[in-house]
């Protein structure tokens, strides 16, 4: 495997994530698209780390921090989406836009 193949994989994941985030109206599907985009960035960063400085642990530590932050962010996002649905049966993005105050 080469760096170009990993970057092609990351670009494909990012493109699928952008399409998913922009074409869907369900809050959960939009969040899944955002998750795919963040995963694409993680794959690209891991590929760069592996091919440019495999002996340095700095890249591994940074990727673990990013993955941890992404996990917490997505858990909070799904909690907010669940709260919105339970409070007012809002499961589409255009319905959630009406909740502004």
Angstrom distance (rounded) from CA 1 to CA 7:
11
The predicted structure's pLDDT at residue 58: 80
68-97 average pLDDT score: 79
The predicted structure's pLDDT at residue 10: 95
Provide the pLDDT confidence category of residue 91 given band limits of 50, 70 and 90.
Answer: low
Fold of 3-95: Helix Hairpins (1.10.287)
Provide the pLDDT confidence category of residue 64 given band limits of 50, 70 and 90.
Answer: confident
The predicted structure's pLDDT at residue 8: 96
Contact partners, residue 36, CB within 8 Å, separation at least 6: 13, 14, 16, 17, 20
> Domain map of the chain by residue range?
3-95
30-36 average pLDDT score: 89
Contact partners, residue 95, CB within 8 Å, separation at least 6: none
Question: pTM for this one?
Answer: 0.77
The overall average pLDDT reported for the chain is 85
């Amino acid at each position: 495997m080469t760096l170009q193949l990993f970057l092609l994989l990351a670009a494909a994941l990012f493109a699928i994530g952008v399409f998913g985030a922009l074409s869907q109206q369900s809050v959960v599907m939009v969040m899944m698209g955002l998750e795919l985009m963040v995963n694409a960035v993680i794959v690209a960063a891991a590929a760069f780390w592996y091919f440019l400085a495999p002996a340095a642990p700095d890249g591994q530590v940074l990727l673990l921090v990013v993955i941890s932050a992404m996990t917490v962010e997505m858990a909070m996002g799904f909690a907010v989406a669940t709260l919105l649905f339970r409070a007012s049966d809002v499961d589409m993005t255009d319905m959630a836009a009406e909740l502004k105050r």
